[in-house]
Structure 1
């Protein structure tokens, strides 16, 4: 195991020129940090006065020396490619014991150099407002990604690593080096077809390209079988009259079959026959869309066969915690049984609401949204509406809460830093340094949280650059790093960007950006990903922070949502933005009970989709009749009786079949694990340092350098889980009793 580096408060030369405000904050004044943290998010004038004047020296984007102009992206990319080509030649010519001793670190450096450009460019091209910068970032991404694909199918690197693994010196590799070598070998041998004969390797490349093209087409071309259905307006009783009026033409209401209007109709229209018609239309994708999906499934099956795998699901799962489709099915079946009692009780509550409304028929698929809405409405607290609750959650207050929570659990706090001109992509982006009370600065966080025209509305976490130990002589690109003066070891700091789409503070009034309770949970979720990067303690880029098994990667973010729902945690910060009155705990408890009313039913829907995802990627029938496979999954696992007409062909709208092919179970699995860790480690100890350090030591510090099973066994103290397998998957599934995600 690599010894954890000793971090210091001192900054390396590459960041010593930051604002003097930064140094003052970093060395003390925690109380001042806390007040300023709230104000820079809540008060536009405070942020404006805090930032450096435009006359200050310009630095590149993220402090990268080159990224001061579109041309700088080309310079940075060219320099990176020149470095990597020299490194590739060095690795491929490895023949001495010293070469083999260093080969994994050199391969990791190669990966880091390429990912620095790819990850940063991918973020910039999706976020930056300047079209010229976006175009330059896109060009940089394409150049480096193309070169990386060449390396992935080149035998030189693979052969060098294989020789090194067979050399006795490989026994001296650290645990991290062993993990990175294992990951690279799987990528070479089982994901890139490196051992295939030339003709088969050519076919591998063709199939990979076809899968990418079909996947994009599947996601982008989604269309229903029937675009619209029409009704007399008299049949839409219960629906918002304003919505009905907007949809009325020539005396007829023309309702789109997918989208907000259809969802609104299912929730509000009293006429069951109307809801049935809307439901069936909304469940049917265009036949052309199903054909595209089946072509995608066929190409994936062909790719798996080319690589010697039984199915695409077997190929996709081999390096995951689950390992096999059979293990995933074991988990989903166990979770299904654990979930059934609570989900059935929730459906019984809906059925009772239907009976009270005068209907004596059983609950139907098109009833679920309508009677869920009815029950929620009847249970709503009329004394505390959602907008009143938001008054206790100004954005700055929530950041205070996150900083206070992290201080108590991990000894970390957020310190506002004035970004240099050119360092960020928008003047509203806040920069925070993450300061450890024992290790100094350990990460840099950029917060782009306010809405603006043209900005992607989806919340996201981006790792711009991972942590990694920097070898002597490595090129300094200007981005933040730390120097340990006692050893001379240099480490690059993780650089993270959080993207949300919250309302901006009103510059003409004192009102800050006020978050809904759902938005508070969203911010905690994304910060959970960031925390994985902050507290990862790996020397190698390839296993840093969130670079871990897919079915482990969502655990920190899902667990973080539990803290957002804890009255103990909320008491740290939830105060009225005008009166400073603390939030009433009863209000929060009521809100939590409302949110969890139908959590088990929602979990049931996710189980159905996860089962369908597995079957579609492991069953030969899916290649020619995906609708039959999807419908069988729905009928087998839905607790509301359905026939094939009711199940429809909704899988044609299931975009995650491309991005998460055979891996859709992962979020459910991490949700169940997060629930168990919350119960066993944190519940009743939400702000306890010992609990935080246990979680950080057993889970966060490792990144992807050990399996999720080992980390799970460590944090729960259950050694029987550390080897994983179907038995462990069944145990995890059985944990899912009750309402996943409840406080």
Structure 2
């Protein structure tokens, strides 16, 4: 039995997520969320107008929410957590895991015993169901153990998670499953019978089995497992062990002029010295405000110099990854990690990044020219950037001091923003959000709101649980979780559930619905959205939860992931919703940010919380001017910083597998010297080792480019599909994007999705170059650029 490899769900933290490496049966443990209603008819009870009004009020008015949510509290009927019939108590997690495990074992026996043509023809669906059963427990338990406030339930969920994850690792080394699936995929009489979705799932699982070393001889496989566990432990140590070489920089009080006097008093010692810590917020404040350049230089270098033991951890991690790649038959770890991504090769990623650097360079030079004119005299240095940017921001704030901008959050109550999202989805895709009362026991906190997603025909298609308000010990990071994926449920599964003692629901009690126009039962996607917004007042007096523009964009971003899950309802769960290539997964969420503050969309929802007056045209113009001004001051340099980090990530993971000692600091400076617009300090006294603080090198190994890659694609789609002389909320454009991108989930090559939504007449898609992918397609995306509004959510 293999040791359990540590698993991390993919959740967004300011749009940069830690991504687990795929395992054959980890396809289940994905990146979206749960819940689907049993009482679908309830979604049609109210008129569209009443639903819309209720949506705003359940988020903005605590008294209304109490009345709305208490309607069913006195009922004798109770629900398990997120409607799961097993999860009515901590003990239910064990029963849920064991029942799911028994179903898994029956499928494994069936696959291993397959011998007839019909056996092999059902194999892709059998394996997909096996993956679904694993994910049912792993995804939901992982969410609950991290988000439920009850420690007993956390512990029970952790035990269920561990049981199923350990079994998944056993399956990953069950060679018979791999051999049978390969046999099925090699038989034309089988593959000609399979749908495109079945072929895609079979390919994914075969590839994932290979990535788990199942095809290797026992000795090599044992080494592969040991290396994988070493990498997991080293990666965890690297992420958690970031530390500077020096804990403080001790400065004379006279050298920190410009620093906030309150901060100085807090840090000052009796002998007139000011020890500034080299981690936390204080050094960032100092770099933005201290007038003396030599002091800023000392702070910059010290805060970007990692401890030797942290650099050793990184270099050992990189060495073991290179060894793992060699063992697997790849020329580098990047080649191994990228083989199933849109990019395919590290050479293609480098083409994208270097082209993007060139696309971004004119704007970088423009920004730095303005900062240089403020400094005068000596050339601008890296330790000058934050200081002169802050000076420009201060000048801009003084020149544009506007009461209008300070009042913008008054037009962004949480309820109106949710209303806007529903109206936008209705206009673009024909689906809307309908508040639904919950049964006792259905949610993990009394402030969690349930929304049913319904289409224009009134059919229930998804469930979203919104856990959006702050509470003690809750993570502050916004995130989207898939608690259960969409998939078709076979008649055999329905019969199996009915024959259980006692009879069971084929989806564990969670939401299902009939496919429109057929008699096929569907497992509805169940999603959880988690944010950390302040609560509305208990009394109902005073303003509700008011969001900043940044928080609005964050909520739209997370809803972008949700709509991918909602509309990506494929027949098999392994490719549903956000279960797609890592370098394609952020596209829907990043694109949604552009909708958040587009004027036509603001007109749909931005209304004053008290007077209900719409956001004025002049306020929209002020918001737009403010975004553009901030982008002009630092946006291009921020973009370059992300590109440079992606280049460093590629350089580290493209190292040859010949065992040559790694000097990560040399490589880091080689990349910065070649591509950074600001000078990179090269002499020994000024060299930094910032790579020790780059925790994403573990979670994103060789794929850190993914987010800016999707930003470039989203920027292109926004301008060429939604901004071509039409309104941003044009239904034809929404249908085009839905049909070419969202509905496929991971069941279509990402390049085909991009080529399809841009269309044959788009100059960037001349001669069908995008659909083919490859190095030229990656260069083309690099030419599209990232825009000038600075770093996205």
TM-score (norm 1): 0.95
The match for 1:371 is 388
State yes or no: 1:586 paired with 2:621. yes
Measure, in 2, the Cα distance between the counterparts of 1:623 and 1:243: 44
The match for 1:625 is 663
The match for 1:313 is 334
How far residue 572 of structure 1 moved from its aligned partner, in angstroms, is 1.1
State yes or no: 1:456 paired with 2:471. no
The match for 1:94 is 114
The match for 1:663 is 703
Aligned with 1:694 (options 729, 733, 736):
736
Check the 8 A contact 1:314/1:618 in 2, yes or no: yes
Check the 8 A contact 1:466/1:492 in 2, yes or no: yes
How far residue 587 of structure 1 moved from its aligned partner, in angstroms, is 2.2
Alignment of 1:277-676 (within 5 A): 277-355=298-376, 360-380=377-397, 381-384=400-403, 387-438=406-457, 440-474=459-493, 475=497, 476=506, 477-484=508-515, 487-508=518-539, 509-583=541-615, 584-597=619-632, 598-620=634-656, 623-644=661-682, 648-676=688-716
Check the 8 A contact 2:575/2:747 in 1, yes or no: yes
How far residue 27 of structure 1 moved from its aligned partner, in angstroms, is 4.3
Alpha-carbon distance change, 234 to 601 in structure 1, aligned in 2, over 3 angstroms: same
The match for 1:30 is 48
Bigger drift between 324-333 and 505-514 goes to 505-514
How far residue 565 of structure 1 moved from its aligned partner, in angstroms, is 2.5
Alpha-carbon distance change, 738 to 416 in structure 1, aligned in 2, over 3 angstroms: closer
Measure, in 2, the Cα distance between the counterparts of 1:122 and 1:413: 28
Alpha-carbon distance change, 658 to 622 in structure 1, aligned in 2, over 3 angstroms: farther
Measure, in 2, the Cα distance between the counterparts of 1:421 and 1:249: 57
- Structure 1's unaligned 5+ residue stretches are 1-13
Bigger drift between 200-209 and 387-396 goes to 387-396
The match for 1:160 is 180
Check the 8 A contact 1:200/1:306 in 2, yes or no: yes
The match for 2:756 is 714
Aligned with 2:232 (options 207, 212, 231):
212
How far residue 541 of structure 1 moved from its aligned partner, in angstroms, is 0.4
The match for 1:5 is none
Aligned with 1:677 (options 690, 707, 717):
717
How far residue 742 of structure 1 moved from its aligned partner, in angstroms, is 9.3
Alignment of 1:97-176 (within 5 A): 97-167=117-187, 168-176=189-197
Measure, in 2, the Cα distance between the counterparts of 1:78 and 1:44: 40
Corresponding residue pairs, total: 721
1:432 is paired with a residue of what secondary structure? Answer: strand
How far residue 624 of structure 1 moved from its aligned partner, in angstroms, is 2.3
1:229 is paired with a residue of what secondary structure? Answer: strand
Aligned with 2:778 (options 707, 712, 729):
729
Alignment of 1:179-328 (within 5 A): 179-189=200-210, 191-250=211-270, 251-328=272-349
Measure, in 1, the Cα distance between the counterparts of 2:532 and 2:704: 26
Measure, in 2, the Cα distance between the counterparts of 1:485 and 1:533: 18
Alpha-carbon distance change, 453 to 543 in structure 1, aligned in 2, over 3 angstroms: same
How far residue 354 of structure 1 moved from its aligned partner, in angstroms, is 2.0
Measure, in 2, the Cα distance between the counterparts of 1:456 and 1:196: 41
Cα deviations across residues 284-334 of structure 1 (Å, max 9, x unaligned)? Answer: 111000001111111111110100000100000001000000000010111
Measure, in 2, the Cα distance between the counterparts of 1:85 and 1:727: 46
Measure, in 2, the Cα distance between the counterparts of 1:165 and 1:564: 44
Measure, in 2, the Cα distance between the counterparts of 1:742 and 1:82: 47
| Aligned alpha-carbon RMSD (Å) | 1.7
How far residue 278 of structure 1 moved from its aligned partner, in angstroms, is 0.8
Check the 8 A contact 2:338/2:702 in 1, yes or no: yes
Check the 8 A contact 1:61/1:67 in 2, yes or no: yes
1:552 is paired with a residue of what secondary structure? Answer: coil
Measure, in 2, the Cα distance between the counterparts of 1:215 and 1:396: 40
Alpha-carbon distance change, 647 to 88 in structure 1, aligned in 2, over 3 angstroms: farther
Alpha-carbon distance change, 595 to 384 in structure 1, aligned in 2, over 3 angstroms: farther
Measure, in 2, the Cα distance between the counterparts of 1:737 and 1:146: 42
The match for 2:18 is none
TM-score (norm 2): 0.89
Alpha-carbon distance change, 386 to 157 in structure 1, aligned in 2, over 3 angstroms: farther
Measure, in 2, the Cα distance between the counterparts of 1:626 and 1:742: 26
- Structure 2's unaligned 5+ residue stretches are 1-35, 498-505, 760-764
Check the 8 A contact 1:685/1:691 in 2, yes or no: no
How far residue 33 of structure 1 moved from its aligned partner, in angstroms, is 1.0
How far residue 601 of structure 1 moved from its aligned partner, in angstroms, is 1.1
Check the 8 A contact 1:414/1:435 in 2, yes or no: yes
The match for 1:177 is 198
Measure, in 2, the Cα distance between the counterparts of 1:332 and 1:565: 28
How far residue 387 of structure 1 moved from its aligned partner, in angstroms, is 4.3
The match for 1:4 is none
How far residue 647 of structure 1 moved from its aligned partner, in angstroms, is 5.5
Alpha-carbon distance change, 15 to 266 in structure 1, aligned in 2, over 3 angstroms: closer
Check the 8 A contact 2:669/2:680 in 1, yes or no: no
1:391 is paired with a residue of what secondary structure? Answer: helix
The match for 2:13 is none
Check the 8 A contact 2:628/2:788 in 1, yes or no: no
How far residue 575 of structure 1 moved from its aligned partner, in angstroms, is 1.5
Alpha-carbon distance change, 572 to 622 in structure 1, aligned in 2, over 3 angstroms: farther
Alpha-carbon distance change, 592 to 568 in structure 1, aligned in 2, over 3 angstroms: farther
Bigger drift between 577-586 and 89-98 goes to 577-586
